[in-house]
Structures are given as C-alpha cells and as structure tokens.
Structure 1
Amino acid sequence: MGGAAILSMFFGLLKTKYAALLFGAYGVGMIGGFAAVMGVASAIATLGIPASSVRKLAKAHLIDDYTEVGRIAVTLKRACVVSGLISMLILMLMSNNLSQVTFQTDKYGIDICIIALAIFFMNLGLGNIALLQGLRKVADVARVTVFTAFIGTLVTIILYHSIGERAIAPALACVALLQLGFSELLVRKLSLEKVYVSWVHSSVEAASLSRLGFSIMFSALSASGVSYITVLLISREYGLASVGINNAAFALSGMFVGFILNAMSTDYYPRLSEQVGNNRAMNSQVNEQTEIGILLSLPGLLGTLIFAPQLVDIFYSEQFQPAVELIQLFILGCFSRIIAWPIGFVMLALDRAKLFLVTEVLFFSLQIVIIYYFLHFFNLSGVALAYAIIFLLLIFWNFLVARRLTGFSWEVGPLKLMLLSLSVILLVLFIIKLDAYSSDILLFLILLGTSSFCLFEISKRLGSEHALSKFLRRIFCQRL
C-alpha cells in the first residue's frame, strides 16, 4: 500500500502543479475551497459505516464465516447507496448558500451541485474499498488507488486546460466516478457467498455499524471541519490566494506522512482489531507500528525541510515561496502525528466509540480556537503552529488513554527512536535558520546519514531474507 500511496501522492502533485501554473495561488485556493466542502459532505454522507464495517469484516473473515461476510457486504452496499443519495440531495438544496459562505458569492451554486454528485459516487466507492480492506485484499485496494490517481490526473489536466477554473468541480466528480467504477470491478471478482438479507435486517445491521461508525464519522467530520473552517478564516482575513499558499505548505510537508498513514489505516487497523482481547499483542503492534512509521517518514520529513524552497518551485511556482516558512512548522506537526496515530487506533479496535468521539471533537475544536487567535498574532504561520501544538498534545492524551485501556507503554526502542528523530529535526531547523556558508554540506550529510540509518533499521525488522536486506548486503558486502 505504501507504494500505491506514493504514486497517488505523485499524481496528485502533478495535478496541483498544473493548476498552480494555470490558475496561480488564487486558483489553488479555490480548489482548496471545493475540496473542503467535499470533505465535510463526504464525512457526513458515509456515517462512518464503511470504516466501521472493516472491523466486522476482518473478524468474520478471520474465522472463515463467509455467510456473515456476505450479510455485511449486502448491508454495506445498501447503507452507502441510501446515505449517499440523501446527502447528495441535501447538498444540492444547500448549494447556493454553501457557495455564498465559502466563496462570498452564489455564482458557484452549480459547481456545488456537481460536488454533490461526486459525494454520491465517492460514498459507493468507499463502501467497495471497505469491503476489500476487511477481506485483506490490500493489493486490490492499491490497484484502485493507483488507477484512480493516474487516470484521474489525466482527466483533470484535460478539463483544466479545456474549461479553466470552472472545471474544478467536474474534475472532482470524474475522479470519484473513476474510483467507484474500478473498485466495483474488483468487488465483483470476489467470491462472496450469496446471502438473502431483508431490508429490515440490513437496517438493524446498519444501525449496529453506525454506533462505531458515528464516532468515526465525527472524527472525519472534525478533521474536514477544521480544514473547512481554516479555509473560511484565511480567505476572509487574507484572501483565497493565501488559502492556496497554506494548502501548498500543508501538502508538501505531509506528502511522505500521508502515504504512511494511508498504509497504516489500510493494513494496521484490521491487524490490530484481530488482536482484541490480547493486550500484550495489541501493545506490541502499536510499538512496532510507531517504529516503522518514524523510520519510513523521517528521511522524507528532513528532505522536505532541507529542500523546501526547491520543492515549492518544482511542484508549484515562484508565487508560492511564502509557503517555505509554513512548511517548517507543519513538519513538526507531521512528526507528532506519526507518533499519535498508531496509539489512537487502540480506541477504534476496542470499539470505544464514545471515547474516540470525545477525543476527536475535543482536540479539533481546540485546534480551531488556536487557529483563530494565532492567525491574528502570527499571520499564516499561526495555522501551521496550531497544527504542531495540537498533535503534540494529542500524543500525550492518546498515550494516557491507551495506558488505561490496555496497559500500554512505549518500549525502550521506540522511545529512543522518538527522541533521536526529534533531535535531528530540531538540529536541521536550527542549521537552516543559521543560513551559514557551510550549511548546505552539513545538511546533506545529516540527511544522508539519517536515511542510511533508517534504511538499515527497516531492513533489520524485515529480516535477512527480505529483498531489501539482500540488496543492502550486495551493496555494502556486510551482514546486516
């Protein structure tokens, strides 16, 4: 999944690069506005049912209960269709009002209606992906991700070139339709047991899924709500061009973290759910995932810090150079997120829906408050600073919660790795701020040394017979 996420990220950056050159910071800010609306609407439309069904599917699949798998699959499909249709209609009715709130004009009402259609397609597609995830069809999920990203990028670029800024909403709808179409093809290839399920039973099962799903929905809604409110606050204070600059900084700082978290939610969550009832095994999984997350992300985070000015030019344009300062603060938040994320899944795996809901709502509400005040004191940098602070606090909160639920504690290895990684990040930031003549050479050596260390540590965890370990032995002629 990691490779698929990298390719998806790469194609996404290509789309953004074309938009940056064609529309400038204002156009990228407009894309951010539509994406924020879509994020909020999608979070509500799913009711969290696709995500919560992954857990039940994984459990049924583990004990080879194919009848239960078939029942859940039917219920999942029906729930996604119904909730998708209702959400689409509501969004269409509110289109002019949402356009006025988001863009201070109602001329984008038609575009919001197109976004509503995209929400329906996306809802069905997410249901298919949840089914594939629950049955551990990780390779199929990767295929959906890569295909959608590749074809979606081509279609988006063609639409941008042909129609201009008014192609933003149609492009988003086309991408959602592509995801639905390809995921549907792969789902139909599954050998699912044919099970009759009445609509009454589906309603009861959907209600059961929605109990945890409601919390997951609120989690997604909180995250997308923060994005949407951030867009509103920045656009009213500094304009849509500043939204584009902020989004550019956030995207570049999180591009390596994004694929790691995506892979984590795809494979790690079902594995963790399978260990429910065995606290020692669950805690071991969290520690292991924390180490792997840090080792995979650290070279990318340092590379982003060091080459931020060049990356902004490559993936955006000279107009986006103010994003460089924001990237430095976002990187600190991304590192904290890598640590907080694996522990947070403990609540989901244990079906502690209310606790998970309280955590998400509390911290995202706090983030909005911090952003609101920090925007006045620190300008755009306030958004990035708020991001770093909130995920640092979330680490401590998730640790305390997991410790109470499973007796969790970090092992010596992950703790040492956290402290070492944070020290390296702070050292790089300090050297960048010095802007000395020899800084470039020193930064390159730090990046090279850190990347080598992470590569060898990952190879140790993979085992001596893994292809990466064999490759390193051939290069360095030594036993790992």
Structure 2
Amino acid sequence: MSTKQQAISGGKWITVSTVISTVFQFLQVSILARLLDPSVFGVVSVSMLIINFFFIFSNLGFSNSIISKQESDPKVLSTLYFLGLILGGTVFLIVYFSAPLIVDFYDEPRLDKVIKLASLYFIINYLGQIFLFILQKELQFKSVAIIEIIGTFTGTSIAITLAFNGFAETSLIIGYLIMHLVKSTLSFLLGRKYFKPSLYFNIRLINDHLRFGLFNVGDGLLGFIQANADNIIVGSLLGVTPLGYYTIAYQLAVFPINKLNPIILQVAYPVLAKMKGNNEELKNSYIKILDIISYLNLPLLAGLFITAESVVPLFYGPGWDNTIPLIKIFVFQSFFGCLAHPLFTLAFTKGKPNLLFYLNLATLAIKIPLLYFFGTYWQVTGIAFSYLTTTFLSLILNFYIAHSLIGSFFRDFLANIIKPLSFCLLMVAVIFAYKELIGYVGVVNTGIQIVLGGVIYLALTLKFKVSLPEIRTFRQSL
C-alpha cells in the first residue's frame, strides 16, 4: 500500500474512531448528568485541569519529535521510554503530595481523594505511550483507532457502572484511569512489533528531542493558561457547583466541534504543505477550508442555539436549566474558535509557528482582565461572555496574521459565509416558529425540531451550494 493510500485509509479509521469515541463520551456525560450533582462535575473538572497542566511538563513533546524525526534508533527510543517513565513517576509524586494545597485553594475537601487518585494517570499513561507514538509514526492508524475505541468504551462503561453504585466523583476518575490503562496495554501489545525497549539510557543521544520538547513545553504552558483561565477562575472565584454547570455547558457546545475540526485539518495539512511556495493556491485552499468548516459547524451550532431548551432536559434530565444561557453564549464562542483553527496549519506550512506563540500571548493578555472584570460583576455568565469576547478579538488577530501570510482573503471569505449564515437564519426562524406555535417540550417535539432544521439546511445546501452528482464524484475520488 502506498503512502497516499495509507493516509486515506488512516483518515477513514481516525474519522471512525473519533465519531465512535465522541458518541461514547457524550452518552457518558448524558447519563452521569442524571445521576450526579453538578458539583461532582466541578470537582472532576478541577482534577482534569491538574492532569492537563502537569502533562505539559511530563510529555515534553516526544510524540511530535518521534513522528517528525521518524525516529527508529532503538537506543534513542529506549532512552526516551525510560525518561518518560522517570518524568511520569516524578509528576505522580508532585501531584499526589500537592493535593492538600489544591484542596485549600478551592476550599473543597472532596478534591483530596480525587487528586490523589488522578495522579496515577502519570504512571499508567507512560507505560504504553511511546508505543502509541510509534504506531502513529508507522501509519498504523487502524491499530490506533482500535485502541481508542476499546479504551473509550471500557472507560465509559466502568464510569457509568460505578456512578450507578454511588461512587460519585471517583466514578469519573476511575473510568478515566481504566480507559488509559486499556489504551496503554493495547499500545504495548500492538506496538512492540516495531519497538522493544532495552535496558539502555543515554541522555546525550536525545539532545535534539529535548530541544524540540522544551519549545513544546513553553508553547503548551502558554496555551494551557490561555485555554483554561476561565475554568480556573470559575472554580476559585465561584466554587465547584457553578464550575460543574460551566463545564457541562461548554462540553455540549464545543466538544463535538473540537472532535470534527481536527479531522478536517489533519487531511488539509499535507495538502497545504505542498503549496507553501504558491501563495495564490495556498490562499484559495485556506478559503476553501474556512468554507468547509463553516458549512459543517454552523448548522450544528445554530441548531443547538435554538433547541437548547429542548435538548438540555432531554439529554441531561432535570436540574440543568442553568446551563442553557451558558450554552447559547458558547455556541458563538465555538463558531469563532473553529474559524481560528486553520491558522495553525497555515503557520506551520509557512514555517512560522512563532506567530502562534505571539497570538496566544496576546489572547492571554486580553482574556485575564476580562475574566476578572466580567466574573466579578456577572458571575459565571459574565465569565462565559468574557470568553466569547476574547475569542472574537483573537479571531480578528488570527485573520490579520493569515492576511500577512497569504495576502487579502477576507472579501472572499465573507462572500462564501453568507450562504451558510442565511441557511441557518432560515432554519432558526422555522424552528422558532414551531416552538412558539406547537411547543418544544418532550422527545417528539425535540426530534421534530432537529429533523426540521436538518432538512431545511440540507435542502438549501443541495440547491444553492453542492449538488448530489458532485457529492457522488467526490466519494468516488476517495
């Protein structure tokens, strides 16, 4: 099989695994929201913040460096493997013994047990992580997809089972740990065909990997603070219960989009890379990516905006009405954010990843003051609105950087986005009329709203954007 065929096959497998994993995780949240108090999700959200923060330092970007350098030297890989285990063990101890400090910061005693349990992630994950990197390097996307699907299914099943048996916040953490234990075990079993660690360790052999990793740590740390400042402030300023509502609202509005867009960009990046010497082709491709993202994301977000009052009680049960105004804010934040995503591939194609660092720095400088100002006066809704404002301003900076890299494109972008925006406005108007005239409560009304919106958007798209013969031609080309 050629590299191109492997890439196409890999894209299909990654898409399948992403869709299945997204469904599992969405079902988990939907079921657990009916079983657990909002404060439980707030407590777990704090533990995930801690894990994600320390993961920046323990990972050191070895995944990217192994794939980028196509590393195959068994001595280098063995050194990286044992260094990863050392880093994982060190971070485990730091997180475990920092639990009392985190409890004091959030004034939440339940965090002690949760943080200590979550710290095991750093031991479990690093036992098999390098094997997963090597499978990706070898383009074994089918194996990667199988690992993801089995791990997610197992972790989700255990989390739900434990929640039914009264384990509360620990059910989510144990499910998360089991998911990664399964992934690590399968990665080892499937990846040892390509690498078997030997008792060898020489730090001088991995200088290039370390330099690469230190840059990743700096960029990752800044990106983490920029992306999670709102969660940190909600938890510390307002407590874990508002953080639970905030987390659930954010997941519903942003989670599916964050799963969809990486698939598009993963396919687009190698195409853009081949055009880096031709600004006109690069610009046309960038506009096309924005167009595709707009057409795929806008109906999902517009549909969620107009059906939130129906969807939230149906999926999460009673007691989650506080998430509805937050969801309607996050819908707009999510759309602005998804339009910003393609810049990452554009900057790397042009060999200017430093621009992303400066963008993160500028966004952070805008975001922190807004979070404190809006959060102080308007609580959790104000923090959500500050996140929306920051994302919009960041998108303006994002488009300015894109303009500097490929030239003027904004007029073409506006000309393209008018259609999906118009389709969505008509879709929203029809669903709004249905809600007012007939109602929106219950499974039947919710289903009719979703089907009605989908039919309207699809019909308008087939009529004014892309025809069925064009779709068939595209499928045959795959």
> What is the TM-score of this pair, normalised by structure 1?
0.80
In 2: Cα distance, 1:124 partner to 1:351 partner: 33
Q: Describe how 1:77-476 pairs up with structure 2 within 5 A.
A: 77-102=81-106, 104-106=107-109, 108-123=111-126, 127-162=130-165, 163-190=167-194, 199-223=202-226, 225-233=228-236, 236-237=237-238, 239-264=239-264, 266-269=266-269, 272=272, 279=279, 282-404=282-404, 406-410=405-409, 414-425=413-424, 436-437=436-437, 447-454=454-461, 457=466, 464=473, 466=475
Partner SS state of residue 409, structure 2: coil
Q: CA deviation at 1:409?
A: 4.3
Deviates most, 166-175 or 148-157: 166-175
In 2: Cα distance, 1:358 partner to 1:119 partner: 30
Q: CA deviation at 1:186?
A: 3.2
Unpaired stretches in structure 2, ≥5 consecutive residues: 1-13, 441-447
Aligned partners of 1:122 and 1:180 also within 8 Å: yes
Structure 1, residues 119-165: CA drift from partner, whole Å, max 9, x if none? 34335655444444444444333323222211111121223233333
In 2: Cα distance, 1:458 partner to 1:43 partner: 45
The amino acid of 2:202's aligned partner reads W
The amino acid of 2:456's aligned partner reads G
Deviates most, 193-202 or 379-388: 193-202
Q: CA deviation at 1:209?
A: 1.7
Structure 1, residues 322-345: CA drift from partner, whole Å, max 9, x if none? 211211111111111111001133
In 2: Cα distance, 1:460 partner to 1:395 partner: 35
Q: CA deviation at 1:175?
A: 2.0
Which residue pairs with 1:32 in the alignment? 45
Which residue pairs with 2:5 in the alignment? none
Aligned partners of 1:134 and 1:270 also within 8 Å: no
Deviates most, 222-231 or 200-209: 222-231
Which residue pairs with 1:64 in the alignment? none
Q: CA deviation at 1:271?
A: 5.3
Q: Describe how 1:51-66 pairs up with structure 2 within 5 A.
A: 51=64, 53-54=66-67, 56-57=68-69, 60=70
Two-structure CA RMSD over aligned residues (Å): 3.7
Q: CA deviation at 1:87?
A: 1.9
> Closer, same or farther in 2 for the Cα pair 1:371/1:82, shift >3 Å?
same
In 2: Cα distance, 1:124 partner to 1:366 partner: 39
In 2: Cα distance, 1:229 partner to 1:39 partner: 12
Structure 1, residues 75-106: CA drift from partner, whole Å, max 9, x if none? 6545533432322222122121122223x145
> Closer, same or farther in 2 for the Cα pair 1:244/1:428, shift >3 Å?
farther
Aligned partners of 1:48 and 1:217 also within 8 Å: no
Aligned partners of 1:229 and 1:368 also within 8 Å: no
In 1: Cα distance, 2:78 partner to 2:269 partner: 22
In 2: Cα distance, 1:195 partner to 1:280 partner: 50
Partner SS state of residue 252, structure 2: helix
Q: Is 2:11 the partner of 1:7?
A: no
In 2: Cα distance, 1:27 partner to 1:326 partner: 18
Aligned partners of 1:43 and 1:220 also within 8 Å: no
Aligned partners of 1:51 and 1:216 also within 8 Å: no
Aligned partners of 1:253 and 1:331 also within 8 Å: yes
In 1: Cα distance, 2:175 partner to 2:355 partner: 37
Partner SS state of residue 466, structure 1: helix
In 2: Cα distance, 1:467 partner to 1:379 partner: 52
Q: CA deviation at 1:311?
A: 2.0
> What is the TM-score of this pair, normalised by structure 2?
0.81
In 2: Cα distance, 1:402 partner to 1:166 partner: 44
Q: CA deviation at 1:117?
A: 1.5
In 2: Cα distance, 1:82 partner to 1:121 partner: 12
The amino acid of 1:7's aligned partner reads I
Q: How many residues align?
A: 454
In 2: Cα distance, 1:158 partner to 1:302 partner: 34
In 2: Cα distance, 1:283 partner to 1:53 partner: 30
The amino acid of 1:449's aligned partner reads I
Q: CA deviation at 1:424?
A: 4.9
Which residue pairs with 1:63 in the alignment? none
The amino acid of 2:406's aligned partner reads G
> Closer, same or farther in 2 for the Cα pair 1:325/1:122, shift >3 Å?
same
* Percent of aligned pairs sharing the same letter: 19
Deviates most, 382-391 or 412-421: 412-421
Structure 1, residues 42-77: CA drift from partner, whole Å, max 9, x if none? 2332233324544x14xx5xxxxxx66878755654
Q: CA deviation at 1:2?
A: 3.2
In 2: Cα distance, 1:379 partner to 1:425 partner: 31
The amino acid of 1:112's aligned partner reads I
